[in-house]
A and B are shown apart, each in its own frame.
Chain A
Amino acid sequence: MNAASMLRVEGLRKRYGGVEVVRGVHFNVTAGECFGLLGPNGAGKTTTLKCCLGLTQPDAGQIELAGFPVPRQAREARYRVGVVPQFDDLDPDFTAAENLVVYGRYFGMRAAAVRARIPALLDFAGLADKADAKIDSLSGGMKRRLTLARSLVNDPQILFLDEPTTGLDPQARHLIWDRLKTLLVSGKTIILTTHFMDEAERLAGRIAIMDRGELIAVDSPRALIEGSIEPEVVEVYGDGVEAWTLADGRRLADRVEVSGETTFCYCADATPVLESLRERPKLRALRRAANLEDVFIKLTGRDIRD
């Protein structure tokens, strides 16, 4: 199995002023894959995407997008690419349908060719009845979906999505995820940045965790969870949690992390921890399976990044 490479990044480096924000990044995305780029704020995700699209000049490294060297032939590559940016940039002076027509022109498409695609694009985005709606009248979720529809106007092979569901309510997020899954089934390649672990876990076949400009882990979500963390987590909090952690928690769990008022017990088997907690009615406990967020926190730490 040797699927075609859609995006190949080697030794990518980018410096702003005195700070190197991307420090030697390598990855390869094959056709039909959904690749998730995860990292705390300021990890270098958006800069990496900008480099891949040829929208900023890297200091070092090679990039090949849809078979074209970037930034040298970035413009040619972008004919095959759709982008959903982090911030809404729909044209507020146009209706939903006009946004698609005008954007199609930037790809050299004739208005008639775009108009023929509009009903299907709006329908896909759940906006079939919004063709003539003003952008201002659309909700946040609708705007995101229209941006997604706009990114498909040129029928791209590759989609770049920069935090596509940030700021949306759960219903709106689920609708976006559902649409993205449909696109994956239809064979599109998706490159996604997010800081929502559930989003990455649901959509991405492979995830790269990025921190301080470097990729610190690249694997499938399942393999990342199985390979880097204990399968069960008990979160303990309440009166006397410190004493319990010292007396029992550290002894019974395989690994313990204390963050503020909460003790996180990571275990292969949570039973001994839960039994010990049964004798401490003042403590509250939440038992759950380990998830990608635990991996992420283990690898990138609990410090707030601003």
Chain B
Amino acid sequence: MNLRFLHLVRRNFLVWRKLMLSSLLGNLADPLVYLVGLGFGLGAFMPRMGGVSYIAFLAGGMICYSTMNSASFEALYSAFARLKIQRTWESILNAPMTIQDVVLGEWIWAGLKSALSGTAILVVMYCLGLVHGWRPLGVLPVVLLVGLAFAGLALVATALARSYDFFTYYFTLLVTPMMFVSGVFFPVGSLPAPVRALAAVLPLSHAVTLARALTLDTPLEGVAVHVAVLILYGVTGVSMAAVLIRRRLMR
């Protein structure tokens, strides 16, 4: 396997480094507002969830939600800018780089960037005393898988998009409903059976199950299945995106 895709990862990293602080704060602000607002505000009216406070319950879901959002934004809006608005990918393809290098680089980059924002949330949770001990650190590989899964899906949408408007549908029809059925804010068990069945095949529910068990220090079952589903979404997404982007650019 050649490592030319790292040139693209590095390019994106160098751009990110220039805006690192505002980017990280932006990544943190949204989930923290939810965590604090819902956790303390709504949480005050909530019973204890399986023996823990609502905010502690919410923490694992928020890490996944934040990682998903970060990966989606990067692989939709930012990647689309490089594909269409700035023609960055076309300029790279004039050099000795291939479509696979570009798509793989974007995928890995979006995965890493979003994993970093998931990690930042975890750090804040340690600071707030919401998580304790070593076990929550197991979230780190999980957020990378979550980032890669959603970056892969988003790159497919980017490959098909004609304008930014398309991404509004992606969020309102896919991401937001998924957020509500995947156990980010409340346990999936409270949902009707058909919705639970749907949630079971969506990547976010597997991510939340893993992250919640790790942050709450509860028993973890079926790890292999959860991990496999996330990998499957990511790899299928990025492979489809590569085919579609080749069709779009190499015509």
Does B198 lie at the interface of the complex (its beta carbon under 8 Å from any beta carbon of A)?
A: no
- Of chain A, the residue at the smallest CB distance from B6 is A105
Prevailing SS type, chain B contact patch = helix
A106 touches B95 (CB 8 A): yes
Known: A78-B96, A94-B14. A105 touches B7 (CB 8 A): yes
B96 touches A79 (CB 8 A): yes
Taken together as a complex, chains A and B put the C-alpha atoms of A16 and B86 apart, in Å, by 25
A85 touches B14 (CB 8 A): no
Known: A57-B250, A93-B18, A98-B14. A85 touches B91 (CB 8 A): yes
CB neighbours of A105 from chain B (8 A): 7, 10-11
- Of chain B, the residue at the smallest CB distance from A81 is B94
B7 touches A106 (CB 8 A): yes
Q: Which one of A79, A85, A93 contacts B90 once the chains associate, using CB atoms below 8 Å?
A: A85
B96 touches A92 (CB 8 A): no
Q: Closest approach, in angstroms, between the C-beta of A171 and any C-beta of chain B? A: 26
Does A27 lie at the interface of the complex (its beta carbon under 8 Å from any beta carbon of B)?
A: no
- Of chain A, the residue at the smallest CB distance from B93 is A55
- Of chain A, the residue at the smallest CB distance from B88 is A91
- Of chain B, the residue at the smallest CB distance from A106 is B95
Does A75 lie at the interface of the complex (its beta carbon under 8 Å from any beta carbon of B)?
A: yes
Does A234 lie at the interface of the complex (its beta carbon under 8 Å from any beta carbon of B)?
A: no
Q: Closest approach, in angstroms, between the C-beta of A151 and any C-beta of chain B? A: 8
Taken together as a complex, chains A and B put the C-alpha atoms of A53 and B97 apart, in Å, by 12
Q: Closest approach, in angstroms, between the C-beta of A12 and any C-beta of chain B? A: 16
Q: Closest approach, in angstroms, between the C-beta of A79 and any C-beta of chain B? A: 5
Does B87 lie at the interface of the complex (its beta carbon under 8 Å from any beta carbon of A)?
A: yes
Total chain B interface residues with beta-carbon distance under 8 A = 22
Does A9 lie at the interface of the complex (its beta carbon under 8 Å from any beta carbon of B)?
A: no
Taken together as a complex, chains A and B put the C-alpha atoms of A89 and B87 apart, in Å, by 5
Does A25 lie at the interface of the complex (its beta carbon under 8 Å from any beta carbon of B)?
A: no
Does A76 lie at the interface of the complex (its beta carbon under 8 Å from any beta carbon of B)?
A: yes
Q: Which one of B15, B93, B94, B95 contacts A93 once the chains associate, using CB atoms below 8 Å?
A: B15
* CB within 8 Å of A: which B83-131 residues: 86-88, 90-98
* CB within 8 Å of B: which A78-96 residues: 78-79, 81, 83, 85, 87-94
Q: Closest approach, in angstroms, between the C-beta of A20 and any C-beta of chain B? A: 14
- Of chain B, the residue at the smallest CB distance from A47 is B251
Taken together as a complex, chains A and B put the C-alpha atoms of A94 and B19 apart, in Å, by 12
* CB within 8 Å of A: which B1-50 residues: 4, 7, 10-11, 14-15, 18
A55 touches B95 (CB 8 A): no
Known: A89-B87, A106-B7. A53 touches B94 (CB 8 A): yes
A-B contact pairs, 6 of them (CB 8 A): A75-B98, A87-B87, A89-B86, A106-B4, A106-B92, A107-B95
Please list the residues of chain A having a beta carbon within 8 angstroms of any beta carbon in chain B.
16, 53, 55-57, 75-76, 78-79, 81, 83, 85, 87-94, 98, 102-103, 105-108, 154
Please list the residues of chain B having a beta carbon within 8 angstroms of any beta carbon in chain A.
4, 7, 10-11, 14-15, 18, 86-88, 90-98, 249-251
Beyond the given A81-B94, A83-B94, A85-B94, could you list 20 further A-B residue pairs with CB under 8 A, ordered by the A residue number? A55-B250, A56-B251, A75-B97, A75-B98, A78-B96, A87-B87, A89-B88, A89-B90, A91-B11, A92-B86, A93-B15, A98-B14, A102-B11, A102-B14, A105-B10, A105-B11, A106-B4, A106-B7, A106-B97, A108-B96
